[in-house]
A and B are shown apart, each in its own frame.
Chain A
Amino acid sequence: MKKSIKIFVFAASLFSLTSCEKFLDVNDNPNGPTEQYLILSARLPGALISTVNQETVQINQLAAFWAGYWGTTSEATNQFYKEKTYNGVAIRGTRDGIQIWEGTFNTLLYYQLIKEQAQKESAPFYSGIAKIMQGWHFLHLVDIYNNVPFDEALNRTQYLQPKYEDGRIVYEKSVQLITEGINEIKAAGVDQNPGKADIIFGGDKQLWAKFGNTLKLRALIRQSEANNEAYIKAEINKINQEGSGFLGLGQNVATKPGYINSKGKMNPFWETNYRGVNASAINHVSLRPTEYIISTYSALKDPRLSSLYTSIGGTFKGVLFGNPVVDAQYAANKTSAFKGPNENNGKATGLFKSFDQASILMGAFESLFLQAEAANRGWISGSDQTFYEQGIAESFKYMEVDAGLFDAYNDQTTVKLSSVAGDQRLKRIIEQKWLALNSISSLEAWSDYRRLGIPNIPNSLLAPTPTARPLRLMYPESERQTNAAEAGKQGNDEVTVGKIWWNK
């Protein structure tokens, strides 16, 4: 017995001396790869899908309410209450709020890390994409929160509480970032093409340049009312000098990463708003088009109407956004739902085509309407009417309307751009743009409304006052808790009071 103990003691001490290092070297993560394992092509799709998901679901949903597209059935009177009441405090909440700020900056980080890695590896195509997409997100942040961090953002080691910058400055810097992105992509060599990892354009430089230019045009159009003509002119000149032009017919900024009919793996807009694997989505049960959008399409005898919504005994019936009363006429079974293949003999409809439909980041129709407005304002050459008609035609195409119906539609005096003059032309461009962006790029429609007040969207019946409109979001609770001093310096950020800098 004595011997055995001695052996044990000896063995134990031996163990501690010889194998100590090996014994302790067990801290390599066996559960997930760290940066050094991951080439850029394994990371870019993750970042792009993050952008796509936030845009088509989270941002699009909030803006669809505030752009006059969506309301709820009477059964869902109590749902989307914070959106209906413009309750900024509830929306900014970490717990039950809408975390656009957090989600956007997280995605910006994904691009930041890709950009840094790409710069180390001399992979200009990747860094160019990262810059354009960062520009996209910063512009969105300003459109929603006005002043936001830019220079000090995304640098955790140096700036834990990043300084905010003026929304106008962030806009300028974002446009500059996109310009740099376009140049880097164009400078990339053939062997530096991301190919399939670029799930948007498959490595097409020309399309990236066009997308970048269109994004810049969107940013410039946004400041049409902000007395910034000199800057706009200079930037338009840069775009012209660059020479790739804007996205045209058929050139959607979209992705189809390979969705399959499985939870969490299908097109997120489809899954959230139309159907899961087995049954309709909760949103499909509760959400309805507003009476206003139905009446607008109807007044124009718009063929898109029947491609978008189901009819109730041949007529289309919408709801009132923010209706506080449980009114039986707006019950789910008495109002037009969003139409999908299930209600259309299995065929694609205006918004819902299939579980693996492409996610739309920016439709060609939006680019065409942006060009129509720019032409109308004399910023770019070309005819506003041509762009306008191409925009409508492109929207018809997306919304599965027979191209043969275009001429009759366009010939109506209520539609034809040439039948009106002056201010009315712009109003008509924006109205048609609104009809085309419906439920697809709703943030753009809400921004147009904030900028121009077009179209004449009825206010939420639960608005705090009849004239109070949502103008922005409040800085999120998380920011108030972690960067309070900076967030506190930015003035009144109440939803119906604080304005975005371009909103005069």
Chain B
Amino acid sequence: MNKKATLIIFLLMISTGLLAQVRKITGKVIDQKTGVTLPGATVIRKSTNEIVSTDGAGKYSIDAATGDLLIYSYTGYVTVEHKVTADKNIINAYLEDSVNQLSEVMVTGALGIKRQARELGTSATLISNEVLNQGKVVNPLQGLASKVAGLRINMNDATTGKTDQLVQIRLRGSRSFNDAKNNPIYVVDGVPVPDIGRLNPNDIENITVLKGANAAALYGSEGVNGALMITTKKGTRGRGLVSFSNTTTFSDVYLLPPAQKQFGQGQNGVYSPTEYESWGPAFDGSIRDLGLKLPNGLQPTALYAAPSKDNRLDMFQTGRTLQNDLSFSGGDEKSTYYFSVQNVNIKGVIPGDKSSRTGARFNGSRTFGKLNTSYNVNYIAASRNTTPDGPWYSTYVQPANLDLNTLKNWRDPNSAANPLNYYTDATAAKNPFFLMDNNRNTSNQQTVNGKIELDYEFTPWFSAIYRIGLYSTSEESRATTNKLAAPSGNRNVNGSVNDGSNDFRRVNSDLILNFKKDFGKFTTRLLVGQNIRMDDSKMISIGSPNLLFPDLFNPGSRAGELEGAATITKYRALGTYGEFTAGYNNYLFLTLTGRNDIVSVLSKENRSYFYPGVSTSFVFTEGINALKDSKVLSFGKIFASYNRTGNVTLDPYSLNNAYSQINGFPFGGLVGFTPSLTSPNRDIKPEFVTSYEVGTQLGFFQDRLNLEAAYVYSDSDGQIFDAPISSATGYNSTIVNAGRLTNKIIELTLSGDVIRKDDFRWNIGFNFTHINNKVKTIFGGQEEFRMFRQAYAVVGQTYPLLKVSDYLRDEQGRVIVDAKGNTTTVADSAPLGTMVPPYQMGLSTMINFKGISIGAQFDARLGGWLYSEVVPRMYTAGTHPATAAYNREPFIFPNSVINTGTAAQPVYVENTSVFSKGDKAFWDGQGKVQRNTAAKSDFFKLRELNISYALPKALLAKQKVIREASFGLVGTNLFIVRHKSNTYGDPESLYNQTDGYLSFRQIPPTRMFGFNLNVTF
């Protein structure tokens, strides 16, 4: 490459120096992405301003001399220039479509079909590779956070996901009471896949976010929650490119729930060397015994003084993420290729936690006459080795003065850190470093995702696409606990192993017939298609809770019985769909859709269902003469859509109650089956979401300022969910086909170039979403349902609603204390508010100045509530600051009243005389008052900051190896402002598929900073 380039330069210099002979230059102008030739494109010889156009086959011919500059342009494409060199008489120009102009934007619509944004009667947002990767995320979903109106991302800390966080994504709020069934459909290059969390974000060319059921109508049930249409990179025609990038980031925990530093271990104000709870005396700076004597006879001691720092931080380390990415791409007229390899290596914030991911992708395309073929293969090997939950929740209940750094050498039999000598034998407060080392979860997962697509153009008005995709994951997991023999049940740890194998396979096939015909100013297009879906999974686990030997993790070396289970599931669906689009003069469009699904999870009577949709759009700046060529309004479109989408969120085999053997059964030959405690329902039908959307898209001052606004109404009725019911029915929950939830959503996106000069561009973007949802009905005329823990669905209220237990209060809201100074807890108190923030805002700014670019993404979410389960535990353990607020002395409960009347006729007067005890029993009870652990979840944060510097082209021009090079600094979560009542954590870092709920298991959130390097050869 290098040699060749030098030679070309050399020849070029000779030829230009010698003569400027005019000759015929010919070639084609070609669409970079599709490889289609562009008829009617303009070619200009700059020196003479001579203009020619390409013919019907995209070919041109022009007179030019060596050294001349030829300019190739075509509406909707970025203009390119080529210099005429002495060695070439044929110059092919590859043009890339420009996305700067609103009137020209192309998006990826349903079924992966490219279409003009102008004809969509629904909202769609295009996120480019650069925007997605601003924060150099590992999981592409994280890169979408706060960048799209109506899209919300939460981090989900699963118990084994500390290096590989789960991400919850919601488009336009929730439509289903079934929390896990509100995910959008992910479509990679036209093929629906269950997950894209492990996709290499650098492979993604762009993501079109189709926000609602209306946009994704052709995807039917699965599109009811919107769709993320991911387009991966294709090879670039005409030139070979090699890119390398490295990103190194470091992460640290922050926002730990605060802890008191006044009192140490003991009970009832008395020191105890073997107690872990912090109900002892105040720290006094003395040296005290810690635990019992060690095997070598020494008595461990510790300084009984308030620590100068938060000792809990010593449990964590600085995490590190390394991402190395290499890609090759290229192509010619007939074919393209893109090949990439990425390695991600993560060291977690908990010592010993690590994960890695290696992925390779090959995307190719080839044209054979009228047949276009494309094929993708993506292979990802991901491995993980983490500790389960335990270390952290063991840590925050232990005394503030405990020096965690002394606990690392637990393997030394004479160390006080050794679990056999640890100061407390309580199972709730073990040495966190021992837990980290002793309990491991490992997993190796391999994902293969590929597709083959054939697109045949039978006639200019009829083509057929057949696309088949495979998504297959195979995971081998192992959870181990190393045996630690001790005579006492509290210190003894049984060795255990659990080997799991989890296979999932999805085959998706689409056959699409595509007809189009123009009649004068009318254009029509008809799509008819059929979709076949087959999901198969198999999970196997075997293990033993009782291994015989340390460090030997095989169920064969066990005492007692082998434990194991296998679960197989199958899901089948058959969809038939059609879409008809008519356009008038390219400014007025009408689209009709219809789809029929047949799914395997419902009974035969209910499993087939049809649903229609209609949408329209009008580009009024072109349709209304008076608005044409307006200097102010350069583009204007209004759109509206209506549709009704059927959806089945039921898991396979839910129609009947399956029995199983629990409680130790079978005992040899004696079997004992008991039913599932979820009451089944054979008559479950599809639920239906009816929604309409109206909106507008406006471009001002030649699209320098863009505004998009939409109003969406959705109504989900007859919802399928597992509703908790009174256990007095015998069952704990029941699957119902009831409940109606409506959403009214306003979305607003503003984007504008404050400065737009050749080498200086400053863009500011803002998006706003307001979601107002309401529960209309629930089930059987009931007024409320508990969905999960403290999250409720209450008729007439927003969903999910946080309801917690509260103090018994008088009419003025003052807390009533009894004669002993104790408060009373009321279980069913007034609701606090929604657990999903109804207001979401994203603010982005991007400054490009010469080679420097600064991008920042701010995020605010307001109006929601959250609930923490860490706090009650800290109250009980005496580590919460509230427990030390009154120095553990009797005190008058603030703003409290006492009853001076009778029980029947109470008279409440301000309490100035009755003292509350302020001891453990009192504070433990206060921790159980859930109102004390609820907070507003409002926040404003700097989510991403990216400062990068690209080497000037002029500098790079001096050598021929590197085409582009840039260096940057990245950071995420660099600052956050939270509502003052929230001292618990990051409101967007939530527990497993919940809204506004922080589990006691969750480790604190992390902030990240680092640098990255990109080089293109």
Binding site for B on A (CB under 8 A): 1-2, 5, 8-9, 12-13, 15-16, 20, 23-35, 37-38, 42-50, 53, 74-79, 81, 85, 87, 89-90, 92-95, 101-102, 105-106, 108-110, 112-113, 148-149, 152-156, 159-162, 196, 199, 257-266, 268, 275-286, 324-326, 462, 464-465, 476-484, 486, 488
Q: Which residues from chain B contact A101 at a C-beta distance below 8 Å?
A: 727
Q: Which residues from chain A contact B530 at a C-beta distance below 8 Å?
A: 12-13, 16
- Contact call B490/A27, Cβ cutoff below 8 A: no
- Contact call A77/B275, Cβ cutoff below 8 A: yes
User: Can you give 30 contacting A-B residue pairs, CB < 8 Å?
Assistant: A5-B466, A8-B466, A9-B466, A23-B574, A24-B600, A24-B607, A26-B652, A27-B600, A31-B653, A35-B656, A46-B661, A47-B672, A49-B665, A78-B876, A89-B925, A94-B789, A95-B789, A106-B730, A106-B732, A109-B675, A112-B730, A149-B728, A153-B729, A153-B730, A263-B561, A264-B663, A268-B664, A325-B267, A482-B724, A486-B726
- Contact call B727/A263, Cβ cutoff below 8 A: no
Given A23-B574, A156-B725, check contact A280 B267 (CB 8 Å). Answer: no
- Contact call A102/B490, Cβ cutoff below 8 A: no
- Contact call A482/B820, Cβ cutoff below 8 A: no
B178 on the A face (CB < 8 A): no
The 6 closest A-B pairs by CB, nearest first: A109-B730, A262-B560, A46-B672, A32-B658, A279-B492, A258-B667
- Contact call B677/A45, Cβ cutoff below 8 A: no
Q: How far is the CA of A172 from the CA of B679 in the complex (A)?
A: 29
Q: Which residues from chain A contact B545 at a C-beta distance below 8 Å?
A: 263-264
- Contact call A279/B511, Cβ cutoff below 8 A: no
Given A34-B656, A95-B869, check contact A483 B728 (CB 8 Å). Answer: yes
Q: Which of B464, B568, B607, B729 contacts A162 (CB 8 A)?
A: B729
- Contact call B673/A260, Cβ cutoff below 8 A: no
- Contact call A284/B275, Cβ cutoff below 8 A: no
Q: How far is the CA of A324 from the CA of B726 in the complex (A)?
A: 36
B570 on the A face (CB < 8 A): yes
Given A5-B464, A29-B656, A161-B726, check contact A326 B671 (CB 8 Å). Answer: no
- Contact call B561/A265, Cβ cutoff below 8 A: yes
- Contact call A20/B673, Cβ cutoff below 8 A: no
Q: Which residue of B lies closest to A24 (CB)?
A: B600
Binding site for A on B (CB under 8 A): 266-268, 270, 272, 274-277, 279, 368-369, 371, 424-427, 454, 456, 464, 466, 485-490, 492, 494, 509, 511, 530, 532, 545-546, 559-561, 566-572, 574, 576, 598-602, 607, 652-653, 655-665, 667-677, 679, 724-732, 734, 779-780, 782, 784-786, 789, 792, 805, 820, 822, 825, 827-828, 869, 876, 919-921, 924-925, 928
- Contact call B561/A156, Cβ cutoff below 8 A: no
Q: How far is the CA of A483 from the CA of B454 in the complex (A)?
A: 58
Q: Which residues from chain B contact A279 at a C-beta distance below 8 Å?
A: 485-489, 492, 494
- Contact call A105/B425, Cβ cutoff below 8 A: no
- Contact call B267/A479, Cβ cutoff below 8 A: no
Nearest Cβ on chain A to B390's Cβ, whole angstroms:
16
- Contact call B924/A196, Cβ cutoff below 8 A: no
- Contact call B600/A25, Cβ cutoff below 8 A: yes
Given A90-B928, A257-B667, A326-B272, check contact A282 B659 (CB 8 Å). Answer: no
- Contact call B782/A480, Cβ cutoff below 8 A: no
- Contact call A78/B730, Cβ cutoff below 8 A: no
Nearest Cβ on chain B to A261's Cβ, whole angstroms:
7
Q: Which residues from chain B contact A155 at a C-beta distance below 8 Å?
A: 729
Q: Which residues from chain B contact A31 at a C-beta distance below 8 Å?
A: 566-569, 653, 658
Q: Which residue of B lies closest to A53 (CB)?
A: B663
- Contact call B267/A27, Cβ cutoff below 8 A: no
Q: Which residue of A lies closest to B494 (CB)?
A: A278
Given A20-B598, A23-B574, A24-B599, check contact A162 B728 (CB 8 Å). Answer: yes
- Contact call A2/B456, Cβ cutoff below 8 A: yes
Nearest Cβ on chain B to A276's Cβ, whole angstroms:
7
Q: Which of B545, B659, B792 has the most CB of A within 10 A?
A: B659
Q: Which residues from chain A contact B820 at a C-beta distance below 8 Å?
A: 464-465
Q: Which residues from chain B contact A95 at a C-beta distance below 8 Å?
A: 789, 869
- Contact call B782/A161, Cβ cutoff below 8 A: yes
Q: Which residues from chain A contact B600 at a C-beta distance below 8 Å?
A: 24-27
Q: Which residues from chain B contact A476 at a C-beta distance below 8 Å?
A: 727
Given A16-B530, A325-B267, check contact A480 B828 (CB 8 Å). Answer: yes
- Contact call B724/A481, Cβ cutoff below 8 A: yes
Q: Which applies to chain B's interface (DSSP): helix, strand, loop or mixed?
A: loop
Given A161-B782, A263-B545, check contact A27 B653 (CB 8 Å). Answer: yes
- Contact call B546/A324, Cβ cutoff below 8 A: no
Q: How far is the CA of A285 from the CA of B424 in the complex (A)?
A: 13
Q: Which of A30, A79, A149, A152 has the most CB of B within 10 A?
A: A30
Q: Which residues from chain B contact A154 at a C-beta distance below 8 Å?
A: 728-730
- Contact call B668/A258, Cβ cutoff below 8 A: yes
Q: How far is the CA of A464 from the CA of B782 in the complex (A)?
A: 37
Q: Which of B574, B657, B786 contacts A481 (CB 8 A)?
A: B786
Q: How far is the CA of A488 from the CA of B492 in the complex (A)?
A: 45
- Contact call B674/A110, Cβ cutoff below 8 A: yes
- Contact call B674/A46, Cβ cutoff below 8 A: yes
Q: Which residues from chain B contact A465 at a C-beta distance below 8 Å?
A: 820
Q: Which of A102, A159, A265 has the most CB of B within 10 A?
A: A265
Given A13-B530, A284-B489, A479-B728, check contact A49 B657 (CB 8 Å). Answer: no
Q: Which residue of B lies closest to A75 (CB)?
A: B274
Q: Which residues from chain A contact B726 at a C-beta distance below 8 Å?
A: 149, 160-162, 478-479, 482-483, 486
Q: Which residues from chain A contact B561 at a C-beta distance below 8 Å?
A: 260, 262-263, 265
Given A23-B574, A30-B568, A160-B726, check contact A43 B267 (CB 8 Å). Answer: no
Q: Which of B601, B671, B674, B925 contacts A50 (CB 8 A)?
A: B674
Q: Which of B266, B598, B727 contacts A479 (CB 8 A)?
A: B727
Q: Which residues from chain A contact B368 at a C-beta distance below 8 Å?
A: 1
Q: How far is the CA of A15 from the CA of B468 in the complex (A)?
A: 15
Q: How far is the CA of A152 from the CA of B920 in the complex (A)?
A: 42
Nearest Cβ on chain A to B321's Cβ, whole angstroms:
34
Q: Which of B454, B486, B602, B924 has the most CB of A within 10 A?
A: B924
Given A24-B600, A27-B652, A102-B732, 4 more A-B residue pairs with CB atoms under 8 Å apart are A77-B267, A95-B789, A279-B492, A326-B275
Q: How far is the CA of A262 from the CA of B561 in the complex (A)?
A: 6
- Contact call A102/B653, Cβ cutoff below 8 A: no
- Contact call B658/A87, Cβ cutoff below 8 A: no
Q: How far is the CA of A263 from the CA of B494 in the complex (A)?
A: 11
Q: Which residues from chain A contact B662 at a C-beta distance below 8 Å?
A: 46
- Contact call B924/A46, Cβ cutoff below 8 A: no
Q: Which residue of B lies closest to A47 (CB)?
A: B674
Q: Which residue of A lies closest to B903 (CB)?
A: A492
Q: How far is the CA of A478 from the CA of B731 in the complex (A)?
A: 12
Nearest Cβ on chain B to A17's Cβ, whole angstroms:
11
Q: Which residues from chain B contact A259 at a C-beta distance below 8 Å?
A: 664, 667
Q: Which residues from chain B contact A8 at a C-beta distance below 8 Å?
A: 466
Q: Which residue of B lies closest to A279 (CB)?
A: B492
Given A102-B727, A478-B732, A482-B724, check contact A285 B425 (CB 8 Å). Answer: yes
Q: How far is the CA of A8 from the CA of B784 in the complex (A)?
A: 53
Q: How far is the CA of A29 from the CA of B567 in the complex (A)?
A: 10
Q: Which residues from chain A contact B677 at a C-beta distance below 8 Å?
A: 106, 109
Q: How far is the CA of A464 from the CA of B779 in the complex (A)?
A: 41
Q: How far is the CA of A194 from the CA of B152 in the complex (A)?
A: 58
Nearest Cβ on chain A to B269's Cβ, whole angstroms:
9
Q: Which of B566, B601, B673 has the most CB of A within 10 A?
A: B673
Q: Which residues from chain A contact B567 at a C-beta distance below 8 Å?
A: 31
Q: Which residues from chain B contact A25 at a C-beta distance below 8 Å?
A: 600
Q: Which residue of B lies closest to A274 (CB)?
A: B489
Q: Which residue of A lies closest to B561 (CB)?
A: A262
Q: How far is the CA of A31 from the CA of B660 in the complex (A)?
A: 9
- Contact call B489/A43, Cβ cutoff below 8 A: no
- Contact call A43/B659, Cβ cutoff below 8 A: yes
- Contact call B572/A24, Cβ cutoff below 8 A: yes
Q: Which residues from chain B contact A110 at a C-beta distance below 8 Å?
A: 674-675
Given A46-B663, A90-B928, A263-B545, check contact A105 B728 (CB 8 Å). Answer: yes
